[in-house]
């Protein structure tokens, strides 16, 4: 008989023959092995608010004991609950942490509340959870460039990610519409690039502007805090600084870096932007200096350098760019993109890090360590893995959480094709047709939350949940899918989201206040989408 109200993620669960329950009380003690101090403190902090109990670190073994088990792999854990004792063993501290997250899921959903809840018995059904993730990159990209998210909202999102055993937060920090990271060497990036005069409302060239300035940025101290907060929850923050396209916000402050010249403002409209960087040595150096400060803040192995959607039109029309391409010995002016990315790659690799870029970077020569985010379907994933690059799969039709969630007319600013929970759950990060021997190049996948049409933290909740629960399951769980079982576990999970105050999308559709009547989206048919992808992937060299 399966355990009731089981968590979304841990499985398989073997119920103890005798059944029974373990109960957390004011007298419950906690013990932990050396190296698990931080996990133990996190668990104490997670249990205390709702229960009011402090899980005293007293006696060994404690009623709850956290242990390291060299027989288990990284991120792997075994949670064993008997009436008298709960033991969480992990292959490493991360594994123990995930075991603790599963322990919370076995408790009543009220455990997620921030203050003592009366009248709840804090019982754990006895049984064993033995679990490990399928992928090592279980990610979410947050686009804080299009819409600034206050620091506290990022910290909260990190908590929500960790409750779903996700481990990689990709922060999209810069784009045409805003630059969000303080760079000490270039103060105009925060004085000028960090805000725009107004914002396009909805999709389409004729969409109105809202007349409201938008902006904000994170200080380096804020970012270090975000990194450390995430690290304490076993989440790596991968920063992304876009180039050589998606740079209009930079060009508004430092026009000497662009082809266009002076006169650009931080962009107020959505869509692919023609204003790109020039290829001068000083421009490369500017971005190298930026990346140096970024690498000082973010200890992640991966440093995002963007590389997507860079139209070549300005270079082709600009005599100096043509001259520069010739100086550099490039066969085609278009190759300036690859050259530029190559220079950044060289610098980042030289500091012992790896570049992380969108699948367009496959068009040039990149380091063997370069890691590719495959977004235009799975073509990039297949190509990259076959060439020996590591891959993070995030094909738009299954991983883009700005896409509308249903065909309902009430979906807020509906763009692209519908992507619902079942759709996300159907996502397979390893591309079809890839040799089994190359599958290890697929590090995992991520949900990409673009925010052109997500203009508040409340809307973020609506677009992210519960689809992110399905993504978490895809990235943690086995390759074999069982939608029915997942949906049952998701039903049991929703009260946890409610306790956490997540304004997730209800199956019945948006609440009235989650709708955006009159704001135009840009729905497309599957055929239109396929044609679009075919067109933009034509120049991936395979």
Helices 457-464 & 151-163 angle (0-180, nearest 10): 20
Asked if 334 interacts with a copy of itself (CB under 8 A), we say no
Mask for 480-509, x = binds a copy of itself (CB under 8 A): ------------------xx-x-x------
**Greatest extent of the chain over all pairs of C-alpha atoms, in Å:** 80
Q: Which is nearer to a copy of itself, 41 or 434 (CB)?
A: 41
- In 386-451, DSSP assigns E strands to 390-393, 415-416, 442-449
Contact residues for 368 (Cβ-Cβ < 8 A; gap 6+): 388, 389
Beta 174-175 vs 178-179: how paired, if at all? antiparallel
Asked if 409 interacts with a copy of itself (CB under 8 A), we say no
Which of 25, 426, 456, 539 is the binder for a copy of itself (CB under 8 A)? 456
Which of 70, 71, 84, 118 is the binder for a copy of itself (CB under 8 A)? 118
Q: Which is nearer to a copy of itself, 168 or 194 (CB)?
A: 194
Question: DSSP 3-state assignment of 371?
Answer: strand
Q: Within 126-155, which residues bind a copy of itself (CB under 8 A)?
A: 148, 150-152, 155
Residue 472 · residue 9 · CB < 8 Å? yes
Distance of CA 52 to the CA centre of its chain: 32
Euclidean distance between CA atoms 335 and 324, whole angstroms: 11
Q: Which is nearer to a copy of itself, 117 or 378 (CB)?
A: 117
Q: 242, 266, 238: which is closest to 253 by C-alpha?
A: 266
Which of 21, 85, 113, 188 is the binder for a copy of itself (CB under 8 A)? 113
Asked if 35 interacts with a copy of itself (CB under 8 A), we say no
Question: DSSP 3-state assignment of 393?
Answer: strand
Asked if 511 interacts with a copy of itself (CB under 8 A), we say yes
Q: Which is nearer to a copy of itself, 146 or 343 (CB)?
A: 146
Distance of CA 289 to the CA centre of its chain: 25
Q: Within 150-189, which residues bind a copy of itself (CB under 8 A)?
A: 150-152, 155-156
Q: How many residues bind a copy of itself (CB under 8 A)?
A: 54
Which of 115, 205, 479, 538 is the binder for a copy of itself (CB under 8 A)? 115
- Six-digit token string for 305: 């350098």
Residues identified as active-site: 175, 246, 309
Question: DSSP 3-state assignment of 14?
Answer: strand
Q: Within 513-532, which residues bind a copy of itself (CB under 8 A)?
A: 513, 515-518
* Residue-level length of the chain: 542
CB of 164 to a copy of itself, least distance (A): 17
Asked if 232 interacts with a copy of itself (CB under 8 A), we say yes
Residue 53 · residue 24 · CB < 8 Å? yes
Binding site for a copy of itself (CB under 8 A): 37-38, 41, 45, 48-49, 52, 54, 110, 113-118, 148, 150-152, 155-156, 195, 197, 211-216, 219, 221-222, 224-229, 231-232, 456-458, 498-499, 501, 503, 511-513, 515-518
């Amino acid at each position: 008989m399966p355990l009731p109200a089981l968590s979304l993620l841990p499985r398989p669960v073997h119920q103890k023959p005798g059944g029974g329950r373990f109960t957390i009380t004011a007298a419950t003690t906690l013990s932990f092995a050396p190296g698990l101090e931080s996990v133990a403190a996190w668990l104490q902090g997670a249990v205390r608010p709702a229960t009011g109990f402090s899980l005293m670190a007293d006696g060994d073994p404690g009623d709850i004991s956290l242990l390291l088990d060299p027989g288990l792999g990284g991120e792997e854990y075994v949670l064993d609950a008997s009436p008298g004792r709960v033991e969480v063993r992990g292959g490493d501290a991360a594994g123990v942490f995930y075991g603790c997250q599963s322990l919370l899921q076995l408790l009543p959903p009220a455990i997620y509340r921030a203050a003592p809840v009366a009248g709840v018995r804090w019982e754990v059904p006895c049984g064993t959870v033995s679990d490990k993730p399928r992928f090592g990159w279980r990610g979410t990209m947050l686009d804080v460039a299009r819409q600034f998210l206050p620091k506290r909202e990022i910290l909260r999102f990190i908590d929500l990610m960790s409750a779903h055993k996700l481990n990689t937060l990709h922060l999209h920090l810069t784009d045409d519409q805003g630059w969000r990271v303080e760079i000490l060497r270039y103060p105009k990036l925060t004085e000028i690039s960090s805000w725009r005069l107004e914002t396009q409302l909805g999709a389409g060239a004729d969409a109105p502007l809202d007349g409201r300035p938008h902006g904000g940025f994170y200080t380096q101290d804020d970012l270090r805090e975000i990194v450390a907060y995430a690290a304490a929850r076993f989440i790596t923050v991968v920063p992304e600084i876009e180039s050589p396209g998606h740079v209009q916000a930079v060009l508004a402050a430092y026009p000497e870096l662009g082809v266009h010249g002076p006169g650009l403002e931080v962009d107020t409209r959505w869509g692919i932007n023609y204003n790109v960087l020039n290829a001068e040595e000083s421009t490369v150096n500017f971005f190298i200096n930026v990346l140096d400060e970024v690498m000082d803040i973010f200890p992640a192995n991966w440093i995002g350098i963007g590389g997507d959607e860079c139209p070549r039109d300005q270079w082709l029309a600009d005599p100096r760019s043509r001259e520069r391409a010739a100086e550099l010995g490039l066969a085609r002016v278009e190759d300036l993109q690859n050259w530029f990315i190559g220079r950044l790659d060289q610098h980042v690799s030289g500091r012992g890090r790896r570049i992380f870029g969108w699948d367009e970077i496959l068009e040039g020569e990149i380091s063997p360590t370069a890691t590719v985010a495959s977004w235009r379907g799975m073509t990039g994933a297949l190509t990259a893995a076959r060439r020996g690059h590591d891959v993070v799969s995030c094909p738009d039709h299954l991983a883009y959480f700005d896409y509308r969630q249903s065909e309902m007319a009430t979906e807020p600013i509906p763009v692209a094709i519908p992507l619902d929970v079942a759709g996300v759950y159907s996502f397979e990060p390893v591309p079809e047709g890839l040799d089994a021997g190359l599958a290890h190049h697929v590090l995992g996948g991520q949900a990409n939350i673009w925010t052109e049409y997500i203009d508040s933290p409340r809307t973020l909740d609506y677009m992210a949940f519960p689809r992110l629960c399905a993504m978490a399951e895809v990235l943690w769980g086995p390759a074999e899918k069982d939608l029915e079982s997942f949906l049952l576990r998701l039903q049991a999970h929703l009260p946890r989201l409610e306790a956490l105050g997540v304004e997730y999308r209800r199956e019945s559709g948006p609440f009235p206040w989650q709708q955006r009547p009159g704001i135009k989206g840009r729905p497309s048919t599957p055929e239109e989408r396929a044609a679009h992808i075919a067109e933009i992937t034509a120049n991936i060299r395979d």
